Each structure stands twice: as structure tokens, then as C-alpha cells.
Amino acid sequence: MIKNLNFLRSRRPSSTSTRYLTTKDLRQKLFSKGETFRGTIIRAEPGGKVLVSGKGAIFTAYSMEKLLSGHVYQFLVRKTRPVIELRIVSAKHNDRPSALGLWASTRPARGRFGEALIELQALISETKAASKPTTEALEKLVRLATVTQKNLSSADTASQIARLLMASGIFFESKLANLAKKGPRNVSAGEVGYDLKHVLLRILGEVEHSNGSMKDNAAITEKVIQMLHLIERHQILNLLIMEGNLGWFWFLPIYDGKRWDSAELLTKKLSAETFSIWINLRLSRLGPIRARVDLKGRSVGVTFYVDDHRIVELVSAHKDMLDRKIQAQGLRLTAFFCNEAEEDHLISYMAETSHFEGLHVEV
């Protein structure tokens, strides 16, 4: 654990001299909660004091764990109040993956996933690089993945999310394994269904043999490979989470009318009919929202965590609306809370699977 930040010195020269940033400057100008960055340990001293270079600055901190001079670490900003706390999610000298590292490093791509899917559809449509069946399958997936405020308010929301989840690509190999068990004589054409990983792999194969320009084919291939990498990292992430008995992670592309982002969900089954779900999302009006949903049978308890007391009042004022929406799904709201809190519990859950002993950093 690294704690008690002494100072941060900017490496960018000013007109007079190198300036020192206050703790307030650190929170407002250098670190943003949830972001990741790479930092190099310039010097590690006895007693846990370390000098770190990262984000264009040099700062000192104290660690109860041994960090190695000259080595590069990837840091995740867990919180900025009341202290600045970082976690080490990966190290250049350690090749073992961690759930926290995968989750943090793929977060930006998850936020842009819906937008990337629409861009890919436009490229395929303009270049006609894929066959008609593949193009139609991609179009259906784009419609399915476009989660908006309007379709989240429909009576079919639960079914739509379930269809999106099954089509997300993370179950592709499982679907193939189930089909293989049936044997070739018992498998019908198209039985894999509208699976994103399946469609992306088809696009790669068709683009390779298309007559399109090299520039267009390269642009499509690059975008498809980026999306496949995200899906595959999502699959590995869930294997690591399940190893730690923490549940299961998934995300939903969200478009709120102004920007694309994603809702992140960590689900854990506690008993035969009891589930706990941590939800993180960012909305254009409310900003970052974190929620815990406890489901036991038909009873639902919801706790919201927000960064601003004004958002607490706004969310609390809409409790009746939430109650009606939950009732429309055949459930009943039995508990409701909304609190101002800085801590991100989803990060804490991910950190429990890390291979790095004691490498959470508090500055």
C-alpha cells in the first residue's frame, strides 16, 4: 500500500522555475478517478518511499510493498478523496494477466464499442466488402446493440438485454461446443445465430477475398481485429473473475443521445434465488453513477452511489418512477438508498483477483 503523498513536481518547465502542486492540484489537474496510466519507479528507498514518474510529472509516495526501481507499472486511479489512491493493475516485468488489469485496460474500448460497431457497419455498407447475408447479420446486431433511453424504457427491456448478451460474442465457443455435441447431421445452417464474434470472423474472411481497395480493406480489417480483441479479452476477464469466485462481468453499449459509453455490470449469485449486481455507468446529465442491486426472488433492493449531493437529491426525487419500472418487470422494490460516496466498489471486487500481493497504491 502506498500512502501519504508528500509532493508532486511538474516536469513541464514554467517561466520562472519548476512548480510544486498542492494536493488540490493533484485531484483536479492530474488524476481522474477510474483512469489508467503508466508510471516508472525512478527510485525505491528503504522504508517504502518511492519516486514515480508518470503523467508528465514526478511524485513521491510510500509503499508497504517492495516496488522495483526502473520497472514500469500500470496504475489505476481508484479514488481522489479523501486521499488519492492508486492500484497497480499490471507490471511490465510480470506477464501474468490480472482481472483488474484487463478490466482497466479495456475500459476505454468498452466506452467506444457501440460507436465502433456503427462505424464498421458504415464501412461495410460503403465498400460492399462483405456478402449480403453477412451485411444483414451485422445490421441486425447493430440494431440490437444500440441501447438507448427509449428502448431501456420499453416493456421488452429484459428480453432485449438478454438477446444482446447472447449475441455479444462472448459465448461463441460455447455455442460451437454445443453444436459439436449434436453431430454434423443434426446441426442446421445458421444455428449459431446472430453472434457478433461469428459475424466479425466472417467479415475478416470475406474482406480477404474481396475486390475492394487495399485502403478500404485495411480499414475494415483493423476495426474488426480491434473489436475481436476486446471480445476475447472480455472472455479471459471472466475466466479470471470466476477463478476468484467473484461472479461474472459484462457490459452494455449505451447511447444517451449525446455520447456513447457503456454500462458495466458485475453479477454474483449468492444462493439459488439471491443475486448481487454492481452497476457502473456514466450519463450526460448525472455523470458517473454506481449502483448495487440485490435481488432475492421477486424482491429488489437498490443503492445508488454518486459523487455530488445534488445528484443524491435528484435521484431520490425519482424513487417513485423507479418503483413503477420495477413493478412493470414483475418485481417489487423493497429497499432504496442513494448516498454520496467516492469509492468505486467494482474496482475493489476486481482487485481481489489480482496476482500482485499488496500492490494497491494509496497516495
Instruction: State yes or no: pLDDT of 25 exceeds 70.
Output: no
pLDDT at 341: 77
Instruction: State yes or no: pLDDT of 347 exceeds 80.
Output: no
Cis preceding linkage at 82, omega within 30: yes
Report the range out of 42-46, 82-86, 259-263, 295-299 with the highest average pLDDT: 295-299
Q: Which of 5-19, 20-34, 48-62, 149-163 has the lowest mean pLDDT?
A: 5-19
The pLDDT of 221-227, averaged and rounded, is 92
Class for the domain spanning 246-349: alpha beta
Average pLDDT value over all residues in the chain: 78
**Position with higher pLDDT, 95 vs 109:** 109
Instruction: State yes or no: pLDDT of 148 exceeds 50.
Output: yes
Residue reference for cell 500512502? 3
Helices 113-127, 214-243: axis angle to 10 degrees equals: 150
**Position with higher pLDDT, 327 vs 256:** 327
The pLDDT of 149-159, averaged and rounded, is 65
For β-strands 260-271 and 274-283, DSSP reports them as antiparallel
Distances (CA, A) of 202 to 178, 244, 319, 360: 20, 34, 46, 42
The H-or-E segment that residue 321 falls in is: helix 319-328
pLDDT at 295: 93
pLDDT at 336: 94
Instruction: State yes or no: pLDDT of 4 exceeds 50.
Output: no
DSSP-assigned states of every residue in 205-225: HHHHT--S-HHHHHHHHHHHH
Report the range out of 43-52, 75-84, 164-173 with the highest average pLDDT: 164-173
The H-or-E segment that residue 275 falls in is: strand 274-283
Q: What is the pLDDT of residues 104-136, one digit of tens each?
A: 888 889 989 989 999 999 999 898 888 898 998
**Position with higher pLDDT, 65 vs 260:** 260
Q: What is the pLDDT of residues 283-312, one digit of tens each?
A: 767 778 889 999 999 999 999 988 888 888
Question: End-to-end alpha-carbon separation of the chain, Å?
Answer: 9
The pLDDT of 78-84, averaged and rounded, is 71
Please report, for the chain, the start and end positions of each structural domain, with discontinuous segments joined by +: 2-96+358-362, 110-241, 246-349
Binned at pLDDT 50, 70 and 90, residue 76 comes out as: confident
- Burial of 17 (C-beta count, 10 Å sphere; 0-12/13-18/19+): exposed
